Every structure is written in C-alpha cells, then in structure tokens.
C-alpha cells in the first residue's frame, strides 16, 4: 500500500463517517489531532490515535482529517503504512461503516446567501456556526456542529457551553487560526459575524445566513429550509415550520384584538421604546401587536419618559431586559418600569406586563427556529390567559 492509498483511506473513512452520523458517539479528539500535527507522527501512530479516540465521546467537537492535512503528518515507511491500514480498517468496522458505501463521491449544492453563492459539500461533514440564532436552527434540526463562538449559552443551547465543544473566537471576531486547524467543510456566519465574513470565507467554504429582521418569520422559514436541504433534514424542518406558521397566525389573530402595546428595552438604567423598524420589530410586523407609539423621531427607538408613557397608555408592555440577557448586575427592568410609572398605565393596572425571554430576544435577535417558537408560545399564553 503506497502513501496516497493510506491518506485516502483515512480521509475517506472518517469524512464519510462524520457525514453519515456513524461517529456520533465515536468522534476524534481535536487535542489528539493537534498533537499529531505538532509531532508529525507516522501513519501507524495516527491510526492508533484515531482508534483510541473512536471510543471516547467528545460531544460536538469532532474533527475530520482532510487529505492535505493527513499528508503532512504521514511518513513514508512501508511498514508503517501497512500497520496503519489495518488500524483504520478496524476503526471502520467498529463504527459500522460500509467500506463500499464510503467510496461514493460526495455531492455538492450551490447555496445562495447574503454574500452571494457558495458551492458546498452536501452534507458538510464538519460545520462551524458563528451565530447563536443560526446555531439554534441547527440544534433544532438535530444537526451536529463542530465549533461555535465563545459567549453565553442558555436554554436549549446550554449544551454548547461545555468545554468539549470547540470555541472559535467571538461572533464579531472569529479565531481564524482555530478555524484553519478545524478545517471545516462549511462555516456559517450571521448578523454579528457579517463584517468578518470575507476573512472566514478565505479559510473554508462559507455562507452568510443573517436573518432579515424586518421580515423575520419568513426569513427564519427560508433559512431553515436552506439548512435542511443541505443536511437532508427536510422532513423534520417541514414539521417544525408548519407548527411555527400555525402558531404565528394564531398569535396574530389574538394580538389584533388585544389593544396596543409597547416593546420596552431596558439597559444600563435606560428605558427605550422600540419601534417596528428595530431588530425586535417582529413583535409588530409578524406577531400583529399594534404599537401604542406611532412616531419615533429618533429612529428605531425613543427614550420612554414618564410623560410619554402616560400619553401612550399602552394596554400591554412587552419588556426586554438586555442586562439580564448578558448576566450583568444592573438595575432590573421591574425597578426601571416602576420609576417611570408603568403601574399607572392600563398594562400595569391589568397585570399585562410581559417579561420576554431576554436570552432569546436579545442574544438570538428574537430569531432561531426553536427559540422563535418559544417566543410565540410565551406571547400566546400571556394574551390568551389575560384577565
């Protein structure tokens, strides 16, 4: 067996295994592979490392060996090549891979996105997601993710806080070196990583799937379909999309007869009424809430003074506490609302102040798939159970 045969054997088996989900409980430690890179192990040692790693659960932090990367690690000893081939074959048998099936050529899809179009292997074996709302889409569809940004993880995304999940910089400033070491088949960028898109696109195939905040529900639906088609999750996506659309329509009908409302954003002692043109405009544009303030001279938001609040007389207050979403020790939204007399409005007098999920609404921009459904469910419960 020559050098190229061994390289292809390693790369093909582990690439195909990850794509098929066959290594979901037998993934490769990124630490072991990075160590291999530093020490330039021979092919027999690499295969042994992979065999050992195949029995260890690392979670979502799996790394696939690419042909070029493997080539840089392999010495040309004939004895080493033969030994490694046996090791790789053993790993393949334990992970229930079909040797014939792994030889199939991968397919590709041309993905249209906010920065143009990108040809992507389908399904991508290794994916890095740089946006929390998009990560929620992947998680809701049960798609494995190998790398995520640093940040705060809560709710359904709390599983990604684990140290076993590779972190590749922040949403605003991705770690390009970490991404290169991962060598992913796809990098998925969103709103906060848009400025870094050109840089990450030089590392690996990349798509910018940032949501349209002014047409959020439809944008989430279309993005979910794009991701589902790429990873073969169409049936599950259709089911979740149907549920989402039905509940959004129900919310619109309920909100239309519930009177006026304000989306109140609190941060660092400030209280701001958000307009339908803000990134939280889904409350008005898609969910059907009628804004109690119609003029926003300062653009997307206006400082909510006691005088303005009393003039608006909202029937409902929907409150987003930014500091709570970030875990900051600031004045809680409840205290700030009390200071401007929220209890003297129809909303306050009738117990119609809804404290929105701060994590979902701020850090996920009210988007995602599962998170958006949760937001709709919370509002439906509040409106339908109102006294």
Peptide bond preceding 65 in cis form (omega within 30 of 0)? no
Using the predicted structure, report yes or no on whether residue 14 has a pLDDT greater than 90.
no
Domains delineated in the chain? 3-103 (no CATH), 107-233 (3.40.50.1980), 238-384 (3.40.50.1980)
pLDDT tens per residue, range 197-253: 999 999 999 999 999 999 999 999 999 999 999 999 999 999 999 999 999 999 999
Identify the burial level of 342 via C-beta atoms within 10 angstroms of its C-beta, where 0-12 means exposed, 13-18 middle and 19 or more buried: buried
> Does 141 have pLDDT greater than 80?
yes
Residue owning tokens 């059907």: 288
d(CA 197, CA 173): 10
The pLDDT > 90 percentage for the chain reads 68
Nearest to 144 by CA among 28, 26, 231, 235: 231
H-helix or E-strand spanning residue 167: strand 166-167
Close Cβ partners of 296 (under 8 Å, ≥ 6 residues apart): 273, 275, 277, 302
Cβ-contact 188, 171 below 8 angstroms = no
Mean pLDDT score of the chain:
79
pLDDT on residue 328: 87
- Alpha-carbon distances, residue 327 vs 168, 173, 290, 339, 350 (angstroms): 22, 21, 30, 22, 29
- The confidence band for 330, taking pLDDT boundaries of 50, 70 and 90, is confident
Average pLDDT over every residue of 105-129: 92
């Amino acid at each position: 067996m020559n050098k190229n045969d061994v390289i292809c054997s390693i790369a093909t088996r582990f690439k195909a295994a990850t794509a098929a989900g066959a290594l979901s409980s037998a993934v490769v430690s990124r630490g072991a592979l990075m160590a291999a890179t530093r020490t330039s192990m021979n092919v027999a040692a690499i295969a042994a490392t992979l065999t050992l790693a195949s029995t260890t659960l690392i979670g979502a932090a799996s790394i696939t060996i690419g042909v070029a990367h493997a080539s840089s690690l392999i010495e040309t000893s004939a004895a080493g090549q033969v030994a490694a081939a046996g090791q790789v074959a053993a790993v393949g048998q334990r992970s229930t891979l079909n040797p014939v099936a792994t030889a199939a050529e991968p397919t590709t899809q041309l993905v249209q996105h906010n920065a143009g179009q990108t040809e992507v292997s389908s399904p991508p074996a290794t994916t890095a997601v740089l946006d929390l709302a998009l990560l929620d889409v992947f998680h809701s569809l049960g798609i494995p993710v190998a790398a995520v940004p640093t940040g705060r993880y809560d709710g359904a995304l709390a599983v990604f806080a684990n140290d076993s999940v590779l972190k590749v910089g922040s949403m605003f400033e991705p770690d390009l070196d970490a991404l290169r070491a991962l060598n992913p088949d796809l990098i998925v960028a969103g709103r906060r990583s848009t400025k870094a898109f050109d840089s990450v696109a030089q590392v690996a195939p990349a798509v910018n799937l940032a949501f349209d905040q002014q047409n959020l529900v439809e944008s989430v639906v279309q993005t979910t379909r794009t991701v589902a088609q790429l990873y073969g999750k169409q049936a599950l996506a259709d089911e979740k999309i149907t549920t989402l659309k039905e509940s959004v329509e129900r919310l619109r009908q309920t909100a239309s007869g519930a009177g006026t409302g304000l989306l109140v954003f609190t941060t660092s002692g400030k209280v701001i009424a958000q307009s339908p043109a803000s990134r939280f405009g889904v409350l008005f544009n898609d969910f059907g809430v009628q804004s109690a303030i119609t003029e926003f001279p300062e653009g997307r938001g206006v400082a909510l003074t006691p005088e303005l609040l009393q003039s608006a007389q909202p029937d409902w207050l929907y409150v987003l506490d930014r500091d709570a979403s970030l875990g900051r020790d600031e004045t809680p939204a409840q205290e700030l609302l009390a200071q401007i007399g929220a209890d003297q409005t129809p909303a306050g007098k009738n117990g119609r102040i809804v404290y929105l999920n701060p994590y979902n609404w701020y850090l996920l921009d009210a988007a995602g798939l599962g998170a958006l459904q949760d937001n709709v469910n919370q509002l439906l419960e509040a409106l339908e159970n109102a006294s």
